[in-house]
A and B are shown apart, each in its own frame.
Chain A
Amino acid sequence: MITRTDLSLATYCLRLGDDALVMSHRFGEWVTYAPQIEEDVALANIGLDLLGQARALLTRSGELAAGDGPAATEDDLAYWRDERAFTNVHLVEQPRGDFADVTVRLLWFAAYQHALYAALTDHPDPTLGGVAAKAVKEVAYHLDHATQWVLRLGDGTAESHRRAQDAVAAVAPYVDELFTDDELVTDLADAGLAVLPSSLRAGVQSVVTAVLLQATLTPVTPTWHARGGRAGVHSESMGPMLAVMQHLARSHPGASW
């Protein structure tokens, strides 16, 4: 017997897991492209932290959605869903860009994840609560790493400042979606089973704004907002990214390594 609440919670885990999975893949793309080999390792480490979160969240999502039946595994969900079935926000799927882009994007995302996981540590679902308790420490480091680099790029050379300011403007349209509520998450939050995204907005914005101002950067108010990621409507770059991410598993079903 699968309750409606279980299904909603499965979707909630899927959303958080998809955010982490897609962001993780984008960070993997940075290996050998970072400005120094030390940063290659740092970005890969962050990507691996996110992948660990994604694995646990997708596994839990599969279990909750299956009830007593056979559950979709983490690999089923990562490799065998098509674009419209992915529930991540647009921010995490954006193409690599330059080093300022990934740094400013990580600042927003890590600040968001940190507030989110901190609020989920005492979640009644033991898996979700456990993932959050472990991840909140990982994400604190991601936030620190992004902060360190935003300060140095923003308050660095004229060129690094210009590119960091461009990155702040480029990410701005994708921020609002992180804090957008819908019916599913509102119902879950009413039952104490989810954190209302809108409740995180003020705290995250003040964390990011403080870093930007200290970095001599100017916060940007966007003229449009990305929408629809949670419902499976994605931007142009999502399809090509999935093609790369899923190609091996789909070309060689059942392969192991």
Chain B
Amino acid sequence: MSEPLWEVFVRASRGLSHQHVGSLHAPDAAMALRNARDVFTRRQEGVSLWVVPAAAITASSPDEREAFFDPAGDKVYRHPTFYEVPEDVQYL
């Protein structure tokens, strides 16, 4: 089928953010939302769904990986490793 591709995001429960779970084909946004409901939430995985046209996503290129990501590799001072995280803080 030549129907457009949609990326699907599911929010598992209140307070969490939407997570990318996969992609699917659908003729339009309304059908994409319904297909996402059937394909990705049939086992009670979520309370909210987003669908986004895959064509609307601008992605970084594998060719640019070194320039984009490697400079962060040796800068440990950017990591918040000197803090203690209290045990009862969830989702951090």
When chains A and B are docked, how far (Å) is the Cα of A37 from the Cα of B38? 11
Q: A42 and B34: CB pair below 8 A?
A: yes
Name the residue of chain A whose CB is nearest to the CB of B32. Answer: A38
| A-contact bits for B24-42, CB 8 A (1 contact / 0 none) | 1111101100110011001
- Main DSSP-derived SS at the B contact region: mixed
Distance in Å: Cβ of A24 to nearest Cβ of chain B: 16
- Chain A CB within 8 A of B3 CB: yes
Chain A: residues with Cβ within 8 Å of the partner, total of 12
When chains A and B are docked, how far (Å) is the Cα of A41 from the Cα of B24? 12
Find residues 12-68 in chain A having any chain B CB closer than 8 Å to their own CB: 35-39, 41-42, 45
Given contacts A148-B30, A148-B31, A36 and B1 within 8 Å (CB-CB): yes
**Contact partner of A38 among B25, B30, B42, CB < 8 A?**
B25
Given contacts A35-B1, A36-B1, A36-B3, A152 and B27 within 8 Å (CB-CB): yes
Q: A144 and B34: CB pair below 8 A?
A: yes
What A residues does B39 contact at CB under 8 A?
38, 41
When chains A and B are docked, how far (Å) is the Cα of A61 from the Cα of B26? 41
What B residues does A36 contact at CB under 8 A?
1, 3, 25
Find residues 116-152 in chain A having any chain B CB closer than 8 Å to their own CB: 144-145, 148, 152
What A residues does B27 contact at CB under 8 A?
152
When chains A and B are docked, how far (Å) is the Cα of A42 from the Cα of B38? 5
What B residues does A39 contact at CB under 8 A?
35
Distance in Å: Cβ of B88 to nearest Cβ of chain A: 36
When chains A and B are docked, how far (Å) is the Cα of A35 from the Cα of B31? 13
**Contact partner of A148 among B1, B34, B42, CB < 8 A?**
B34
When chains A and B are docked, how far (Å) is the Cα of A44 from the Cα of B12? 23
What B residues does A38 contact at CB under 8 A?
24-26, 35, 38-39
When chains A and B are docked, how far (Å) is the Cα of A148 from the Cα of B28? 11
Given contacts A35-B1, A41-B39, A45-B42, A152 and B34 within 8 Å (CB-CB): no
Given contacts A41-B39, A152-B27, list 10 more A-B pairs with CB under 8 A: A36-B25, A38-B24, A38-B35, A38-B39, A41-B38, A41-B42, A42-B34, A45-B38, A148-B31, A152-B28
Which residues does B use to contact A, with CB under 8 Å?
1, 3, 24-28, 30-31, 34-35, 38-39, 42
20 intermolecular pairs with C-beta atoms under 8 Å apart: A35-B1, A36-B1, A36-B3, A37-B25, A38-B24, A38-B25, A38-B35, A38-B38, A39-B35, A41-B38, A41-B39, A41-B42, A42-B34, A42-B38, A148-B30, A148-B31, A148-B34, A152-B27, A152-B28, A152-B31
